[in-house]
Amino acid sequence: MDTTATTDFVHIYEPGSDAARSPLLLLHGTGGDERDLLGLGRAVAPGATLLSPRGKVLEGPMPRFFRRLSEGVFDEDDLHRRTHELADFVETARERYGLAQPVALGFSNGANIAASLLLLRPQVLAGAALLRAMSPFAEPPEADLSGKRVLILSGAMDPIVPAADVGRLARTLSDNGASVDHRTLPAGHGLSQADINLLAGWFAA
């Protein structure tokens, strides 16, 4: 396992040992990098192949996957552009590494762009686990998400993500055909052991 720099994204590709598991696309939160979610991915989907890019947008020194205007207010023009950029990277990586359609595992900013991927480029992902996600679009586009499983894990005491907002995201994905399991945990914005247990069970199902 090494960090690889390409013309698209700095990323880590970690081959898996269990061919029956879908590859995971790991998408870190603000200030994270390509190494942040590797341990989580290994814990909740043992043996899965891992593809983990680093966000290309900098907010000060902190990598992100797209720009925001303020906390909770997204630059939707940049979000559209960065979503397609990430989708193109995933498709190129699938060809390069011989990968099946991945399932996204995203936290915070990474979860938000994963939700955007589902809505703008649904063919890129087999499904997604969205941790502390918000609805990425004020007026979400329509997409055919039939057959895609989505797990959304929210924190009841999350100071960043309003409950109504993540509820709207869950409805949007469900209305577009996804099989959505939305759980609200007694947690804040950070992850808990309950998140890890639910993720492991969901990936094993």
Among candidate residues 28, 158, 182, 195, the one labeled active-site is 158
Q: Each residue of 85-96: pLDDT tens digit?
A: 999 999 999 999
pLDDT value of position 6:
47
pLDDT 10s digits, 30-72: 999 999 999 999 999 999 999 999 999 999 999 999 998 887 7
- Name the CA dihedral angle for 55, 56, 58, 62, rounded to a multiple of 10 degrees: 30
Residues of the chain scoring pLDDT < 50: 1-2, 5-6
158 included as an active-site residue: yes
Q: Which of 33, 78, 80, 189 is catalytic?
A: 189
Six token digits for residue 126: 């087999």
The CATH class of the 3-204 domain is: alpha beta
Catalytic residue among 22, 36, 52, 108: 108
